[in-house]
Amino acid sequence: MIVAVVGATGMVGEIMRTVLEERNFPITEFLPVASERSVGKTISFQGKDYTVIGLEDAVKRVPDFALFSAGGQTSLDWAPKFAAVGTTVIDNSSAWRMHPDHKLIVPEINADQLTTDDKIIANPNCSTIQMVMALAPIHKRYGIERVVVSTYQSITGTGVKAVQQLEDEYAGIDGEKAYPHDIHRNALPHCDVFLDNGYTKEEMKLVNETHKILDPSIQVTATAVRIPVVGGHSEAVNLTLSKTPDLDEIRDLLNNTPGVVVVDNLQNNEYPMPLNAEGKDDVFVGRIRKDESQDKGINLWIVADNLRKGAATNTVQIAEYLMRNVEAI
């Protein structure tokens, strides 16, 4: 089993390596792949040192899997080249997510759509993954008509430059900026770039990807906010359902959903927080309550580590599913 991690030296690439190790993914040959400026560097994996190689060399090695986290343009340019030699590409960028010929997969929800013909598979956006993980069982039982979501997103979703900006601001250093404003002691209603409709790309990803993964009939509106947090993304989600909800049943549905953990003990001040989600693969749901303004509405608070289940872990889980269930990958 030859596995390439494309973008191995980046923030998500590092977590992918960690997740592959933790889950004992069966690798006989590991290929760390990165841009030309990183070629020749040494990285550690499973107790061994490996030399980073370039994309062209990686294609020639014909890996079984190429796990991509190297940016959209790299994915557009190179994923088809890997696929052409028979490699299964699982891409963490936005490049292929909404392409009609490529599947957008959260394994717990729709991995059964995958076949041997799927050589480029898209990993959803981090904020979408954690939301649909909680919504899928509710939609199956009650039918979701409308979603109103506000996200409170970790700076790690922007990358190393944003983490450095926050650290500089903590230390009083005037360094390079990832954001147009200070992030320390601030909240920016600005994740990704603004579009002509006044929404950001991040907000529209929540809309479009939810439609593709769950149901195009669900109405979705989103506001995405960047906050000075490292551990993970949080989401306040309001749902309008087709049927009157039973909160006890909804808690049972969520508790019995693989990958979802209910943390909802208000008497003991227990509810999901990014501080507790960091480093974990589960999606945590709490503050489950009726929307007092309408009969068929509920509210949820959803938290997950955006670098793990929101990116690296979901990618590795797709590969695991293919190995277990799809012949001749």
Q: 145-184: string of b/e by CB count within 10 Å (b at 16+)? A: bebbbbbbbbbbbbeeebbbbbebbeeeeeeeebbeeebe
pTM here? 0.96
- pLDDT value of position 108: 97
Q: Mean pLDDT score of the chain, rounded to an integer?
A: 97
Q: How far apart are CA 41 and CA 151, in angstroms?
A: 36
Q: How far apart are CA 321 and CA 108, in angstroms?
A: 10
* pLDDT higher than threshold 90 for residue 173: yes
Q: Which residues, 6 or more positions from 47, have their beta carbon under 8 angstroms from its beta carbon?
A: none
Alpha helix (H) residue ranges in the chain:
11-22, 55-60, 72-84, 107-110, 126-142, 160-171, 201-213, 247-255, 274-277, 313-325
* pLDDT higher than threshold 90 for residue 141: yes
**Rounded alpha-carbon distances, angstroms, from residue 93 to 73, 126, 258:** 9, 10, 25
Band (328; pLDDT cuts 50, 70, 90):
very low
Maximum Cα–Cα distance across the chain: 61
- In the annotation, is 139 catalytic? no
Other Cβ atoms less than 10 A from the Cβ of 221: the count is 14
Q: For 223-256, what is each residue's pLDDT tens digit? A: 999 999 999 999 999 999 999 999 999 999 999 9
pLDDT (average), residues 67-90: 97
- In the annotation, is 191 catalytic? no
Answer whether 6's CB lies under 8 Å from 55's CB. yes
Other Cβ atoms less than 10 A from the Cβ of 211: the count is 16
Q: Top-level CATH class of 127-306? A: alpha beta
Identify the CA nearest to 78 among candidates 139, 135, 119.
119
Q: For 201-212, what is each residue's pLDDT tens digit? A: 999 999 999 999
* pLDDT higher than threshold 90 for residue 116: yes
- pLDDT value of position 306: 98
Q: Which of 126, 184, 190, 191 is catalytic?
A: 126
Q: Which of 102, 139, 191, 233 is catalytic?
A: 233
Q: What is the DSSP letter of 125?
A: P
- pLDDT value of position 326: 80
CA terminus-to-terminus distance, the chain: 11
* pLDDT higher than threshold 90 for residue 127: yes
Answer whether 316's CB lies under 8 Å from 16's CB. yes
Domain range summary for the chain, segments of one domain joined by +: 2-124+311-325, 127-306
* pLDDT higher than threshold 70 for residue 327: no
Band (329; pLDDT cuts 50, 70, 90):
very low
* pLDDT higher than threshold 70 for residue 22: yes
* pLDDT higher than threshold 60 for residue 139: yes
H helices then E strands: how many in the chain? Answer: 10, 13
Q: How far apart are CA 318 and CA 145, in angstroms?
A: 28
Specify the CATH superfamily of domain 2-124+311-325: NAD(P)-binding Rossmann-like Domain (3.40.50.720)
